Amino acid sequence: LVLPQTRTEAILEARVRDVGVSVRWSAEVVGLTQDETGVKVEVRGADGTLEQVAADYLVGCDGGRSTVRKLVGIDFPGTPGTLTAMLADVELADPPERPVYMQRSEFGQFSVLHQDAGPWRVMTVEYDRVTDRSAPMELADMRTSVARLAGTDFGMHSPHWLSRFTDAARQAVDYRRGRVLLAGDAAHIHHPSGGQGLNLGVQDAMNLGWKLALVCQGYAPAELLDTYESERHPVAERVVANTRAQTALSRPDRHTEALRDLFETLIGFEPVNRYLSGMISALDLRYPIGDPLTRHPLVGYRVPDADLKTTTGDTHVFALLRPGRPVLLCLDPGTVGALTEAAGGWADRIEIVPAHAEKDAWAVPVGEVVPAPGALLVRPDGYVAWADTDPASLRTALDTWFGPAR
């Protein structure tokens, strides 16, 4: 599935507006203060006027150069860029006979692709050539880069759009400073290889959103927010590492070419392929939830989207998660009564769904097939917090993730 990022943004914006969130464009955070009761944010509007906005918490999702991160003084260590990549949508007076995909040269690689009835998309990557990213990118930069790699600039003119990026890879040392949190590129940047950045940021937000909601609504203690960093920091650390590996593997020299050939052979082995696809898609992600020695094989993983029969009709697990509430799914008719009673103190914030699973074996996201559990507790981000039939351990899990019983 290829979905342009503009389309993803439009879908997300429509969704947040549906749930009552107002989006204000051209409003820039320029200052902030916080104390133990809340955060005050200074916002500059498009006309230059300054306004103060007060909130219980602030989440800086303001990109790799995050003002919020800098204002709260969270360090952003990592590695600087070692290459320059350029992207441009342009007209070509002298286009290639057919599209060029990732042609390598001694300095790097380039692509020249024709988009449906639109301009040409030209991409270049030059290794060991890092340009000053604070200077605006000009058409001349792109022409020079393509000419160096392809021996011609294809008569490039009339740019619609120009962009430049590097493989700088950095990660915030903390994701939380008091009542201020970071998510998305504000917390981590890396080369776009594998198309992992958006997924990583959206999953940060999925992990944090329900925790913040429970804390702000007074159900859960603020310590629940610490699990945001303990769960999400290692995930981005791994993405930063795998993108560094990918850029290292794409260098144009002969030694790297040999390494690439070797890797190509390795990818042909099914377990290696499964390992790498699980990593790039992040579907192999298992949060450190529960006792690693005794937990059910599904605990910590994204819940499988199993087909279910409920008293209100046929459904599937992901449909039950749409309202954004935790779901206690009771699949064993013998224990549903005891579990419903055990969860009574949390009935104000979770959905309890007795159901029959169509299949008695479920696939863990990375491929292993395991017996369907008698019951499972699914967090609003879709990860399994508990899978068992024991009411006492259910109460512990509910208390850990959704605050004390009421």
Of the pair 237, 358, the CB lying nearest ligand FAD is at 237
Binding site for ligand FAD (CB under 6 A): 5, 28-29, 61-63, 67, 87, 165, 184-185, 192, 195-199, 201
Of the pair 208, 343, the CB lying nearest ligand FAD is at 208
Q: How far is the CB of 30 from ligand FAD (least distance, A)?
A: 7
Of the pair 130, 198, the CB lying nearest ligand FAD is at 198
Distance, in Å, from the CA atom of 373 to the CA atom of 71, rounded to the nearest integer, reads 47
Rounded to 10 degrees, the C-alpha dihedral 253/85/7/184 comes to 90
Of the pair 161, 269, the CB lying nearest ligand FAD is at 161
Q: How many alpha carbons fall within 13 Å on the CB side of residue 385?
A: 23
Distance, in Å, from the CA atom of 221 to the CA atom of 211, rounded to the nearest integer, reads 10
Phi, psi of 397 (to 5 degrees): -65, -40
Of the pair 63, 95, the CB lying nearest ligand FAD is at 63
Q: What is the DSSP string of 41-68?
A: EEEE-TTS-EEEEEES-EEE---TT-HH
Q: Yes or no: say if 388 and 295 are a contact pair by the CB < 8 Å rule.
A: no
Q: How far is the CB of 136 from ligand FAD (least distance, A)?
A: 16
Distance, in Å, from the CA atom of 94 to the CA atom of 92, rounded to the nearest integer, reads 5
Q: How far is the CB of 284 from ligand FAD (least distance, A)?
A: 17
Triad 379, 366, 238: Cα angle to 5°: 80
Q: How far is the CB of 63 from ligand FAD (least distance, A)?
A: 3
Q: Yes or no: say if 300 and 289 are a contact pair by the CB < 8 Å rule.
A: yes
Q: How far is the CB of 7 from ligand FAD (least distance, A)?
A: 12
Q: Yes or no: say if 63 and 186 are a contact pair by the CB < 8 Å rule.
A: yes
Q: How far is the CB of 256 from ligand FAD (least distance, A)?
A: 22
Q: How far is the CB of 62 from ligand FAD (least distance, A)?
A: 4
Q: How far is the CB of 200 from ligand FAD (least distance, A)?
A: 7
Of the pair 23, 135, the CB lying nearest ligand FAD is at 23
Distance, in Å, from the CA atom of 53 to the CA atom of 324, rounded to the nearest integer, reads 26
Q: What is the DSSP string of 319-359?
A: HHHTT---EEEE--TTTHHHHHHHTGGGTTT-EEEEEEES-
Of the pair 125, 350, the CB lying nearest ligand FAD is at 125
Distance, in Å, from the CA atom of 331 to the CA atom of 372, rounded to the nearest integer, reads 8
Of the pair 190, 295, the CB lying nearest ligand FAD is at 190
Of the pair 236, 329, the CB lying nearest ligand FAD is at 236
Instruction: State both tokens at 298.
Output: 């599904």
Q: Helices then strands (H, E): number in the chain?
A: 10, 22
Q: How far is the CB of 392 from ligand FAD (least distance, A)?
A: 40
Of the pair 62, 388, the CB lying nearest ligand FAD is at 62
Q: How far is the CB of 26 from ligand FAD (least distance, A)?
A: 9
Q: What is the DSSP string of 99-153?
A: -EEEEE-SSEEEEEEE-TTS-EEEEEEEET----TTSPP-HHHHHHHHHHHHS--
